[in-house]
Amino acid sequence: MVVVPSNISDIEPYQGGKPIKEVAREIGIPESKIIKLASNENPLGISPLAQEAIKNVLEEGSRYPDGNGYYLKQEISKKFSIDSNRIILGNGSNDILEIAARTVLSPGDEVIYSEHAFAVYEIVTKSNGAVGIVAPAKDYCHNLQNFLSLITNKTKLIFIANPNNPTGTLIERLTLKNFISQVPESILVVLDEAYDEYLDDDLKSVAFSWLAEYKNILISRSFSKAYGLAGLRVGYGVGSINLVELMNRVRQPFNVNHFAQVAAIESLKDNEFIEKSRAINNQGLKLISNAFKGLSIEYIPSYGNFISFKLQDEKCAMMYYHHLLNNGVIVRPIANYGLPNFLRVSVGLESENNSFIKYLSNCNI
Ligand SMILES: *Cc1c(COP(=O)(O)O)cnc(C)c1O
């Protein structure tokens, strides 16, 4: 047997949403009848501009992609008025989280993240031999006071998901900035903003404007959620020029494929698509929340494109999960996030949300 260090064998495998093809195979429902509300994907699909752009460059797939992602970085730089030397691209924002961890962590270092926070933080912490320190949440939300009290001289990295997945909670700008100002400069604070595009304008992150003041923050963004490119795998990080230069040494030379780069460039230009996605999401959040209210099901009000809702106990949650699944609606159990009584549903198109509500309502247990 190959000997594997315990920090690796201790890692709990990441559990993603069940793929449509797998459910079709297992339940025997045609793929076209299955509604996947399990991975916070954009129900509108890929922006038409991005689709067109990928089709036009299909034959370029035989060449290596631009390892520096020059044009995509230019587009991000232009859109947010940030120096392109502050930008690093990733194979999904998961890649950014992992590169950040590999860049700053040595075995035995401590990494702080919240209870009920995104599962990838623990994976990248453990895979680097570091120790995860879990800050207890308050009302399912990150409690930054708890983060501060857990900082030691071994702390090297802090992960904050804002909004958080799977709870959908949001930390106010001022509270977050005040927190960052109290974290020692030697500790990297990763602000994971995968759902920022879904926020209303007055709630959107302004963390790019903090970069001049704080050299120890890294803002992570994704094209997988509102931009609808989950299958292409592309995201980016924005931080100090020095940090980004070091992170670039750690990443794989061609970590973002050509089609992802091309699609991301066009997606960034398609404001109409993002506005439409946001509007549909806001309507869906209202529809689903109202249904929960009507059914007296407790839920966590969400700033993302998903809602987690609470059932009596874990057994009941799994019965609802299977009832929905057997009717072709895939949602996500979140016991591995310390929320065994909960399920998480992603917001879909209106018809998809209505199917979810229908099967939620007729579950007899
Ligand atoms: C979905 C998600 C991501 C994005 O992952 P990608 O690798 O960009 O697909 C990052 N952080 C959180 C909290 C998420 O929920």
* Pair 154, 29 in one domain: no
- For residue 128, the CA-to-ligand 1 centroid distance in Å is 20
* Pair 237, 281 in one domain: no
Give me the sign of the Cα torsion angle 94, 333, 321, 331: negative
Contacts of 339 by beta carbon, 8 Å cutoff, 6+ apart: 116, 166, 167, 308
CA-to-CA distance for 103 and 249, rounded, in angstroms? 9
- For residue 108, the CA-to-ligand 1 centroid distance in Å is 26
Beta bridge partners of 49: none
Q: Per the confidence metrics, is the pTM higher than 0.85?
A: yes
Substitution site in 91, 97, 120 for ligand 1 pocket (most atoms within 8 Å of beta carbon):
120
Atom of ligand 1 nearest to the CA of 96: 7
The residue out of 269, 292, 307 marking a domain boundary is 269
Contacts of 119 by beta carbon, 8 Å cutoff, 6+ apart: 12, 14, 15, 336, 337
Contacts of 12 by beta carbon, 8 Å cutoff, 6+ apart: 119, 122, 123, 336
**Torsion angle (degrees, nearest 10) of CA 280, 330, 328, 234:** 60
pLDDT digits (tens, 9 = 90+) for 115-155: 999 999 999 999 999 999 999 999 999 999 999 999 999 99
> H-helix or E-strand containing 222?
strand 217-222
Does a structural domain hold residue 9? no
* Pair 127, 242 in one domain: yes
CA atoms within 13 A on the CB side of 252: 11
Helical H segments across 31-172, by residue range: 48-56, 70-80, 93-104, 120-127, 144-150
Does a structural domain hold residue 158? yes
CB of 165 sitting under 6 A from ligand 1: yes
* Residues 344/275, Cβ–Cβ less than 8 Å: no
Does a structural domain hold residue 236? yes
Closest alpha carbon to 226 in 189, 267, 263: 267
CB of 255 sitting under 6 A from ligand 1: no
The residue out of 269, 298, 316 marking a domain boundary is 269
Cα dist from 131 to 11, 21, 157, whole Å? 12, 37, 10
**Pair of tokens at residue 259:** 């089609």
Q: Which residue owns the Cα nearest ligand 1 atom 3?
A: 194
- For residue 91, the CA-to-ligand 1 centroid distance in Å is 11
Phi, psi of 28 (to 5 degrees): 75, 35
> H-helix or E-strand containing 155?
strand 155-161
Does a structural domain hold residue 314? yes
CB of 93 sitting under 6 A from ligand 1: yes
* Pair 19, 55 in one domain: no
* Pair 169, 316 in one domain: no
* Pair 100, 185 in one domain: yes
**Pair of tokens at residue 146:** 């708890």
pLDDT by 10s per residue, the chain, length 365:
899 999 999 998 888 899 999 999 999 999 999 999 999 999 999 999 999 999 999 999 999 999 999 999 999 999 999 999 999 999 999 999 999 999 999 999 999 999 999 999 999 999 999 999 999 999 999 999 999 999 999 999 999 999 999 999 999 999 999 999 999 999 999 999 999 999 999 999 999 999 999 999 999 999 999 999 999 999 999 999 999 999 999 999 999 999 999 999 999 999 999 999 999 999 999 999 999 999 999 999 999 999 999 999 999 999 999 999 999 999 999 999 999 999 999 999 999 999 999 999 998 77
- For residue 305, the CA-to-ligand 1 centroid distance in Å is 12
**Pair of tokens at residue 211:** 């970069």
CA-to-CA distance for 234 and 77, rounded, in angstroms? 16
* Pair 242, 311 in one domain: no
Substitution site in 42, 91, 113, 118 for ligand 1 pocket (most atoms within 8 Å of beta carbon):
118
* Pair 162, 287 in one domain: no
Does a structural domain hold residue 7? no
Does a structural domain hold residue 5? no
* Pair 237, 183 in one domain: yes
Q: Which residue owns the Cα nearest ligand 1 atom 1?
A: 194
- For residue 220, the CA-to-ligand 1 centroid distance in Å is 9
Please name the amino acid found at residue 292: F
* Pair 248, 320 in one domain: no
- For residue 39, the CA-to-ligand 1 centroid distance in Å is 10
Please report, for the domain that includes residue 280, its CATH number.
Answer: 3.90.1150.10
Q: What is the DSSP string of 347-364?
A: ---HHHHHHHHHHHHT--
The residue out of 249, 269, 289 marking a domain boundary is 269
Please report, for the domain that includes residue 176, its CATH number.
Answer: 3.40.640.10
CB of 327 sitting under 6 A from ligand 1: no
How many domains is the chain partitioned into structurally? Answer: 2
Q: Which residue owns the Cα nearest ligand 1 atom 15?
A: 165
* Pair 218, 334 in one domain: no
Give me the sign of the Cα torsion angle 283, 288, 289, 295: positive
Atom of ligand 1 nearest to the CA of 117: 13
CB of 91 sitting under 6 A from ligand 1: no
Does a structural domain hold residue 1? no
* Pair 32, 168 in one domain: no
For 146, the domain range is 48-269
Does a structural domain hold residue 183? yes
pLDDT digits (tens, 9 = 90+) for 28-64: 999 999 999 999 999 999 999 999 999 999 999 999 9
CA-to-CA distance for 243 and 224, rounded, in angstroms? 24
- For residue 164, the CA-to-ligand 1 centroid distance in Å is 10
Whether the link from the prior residue into 163 is cis, omega within 30° of 0, is yes
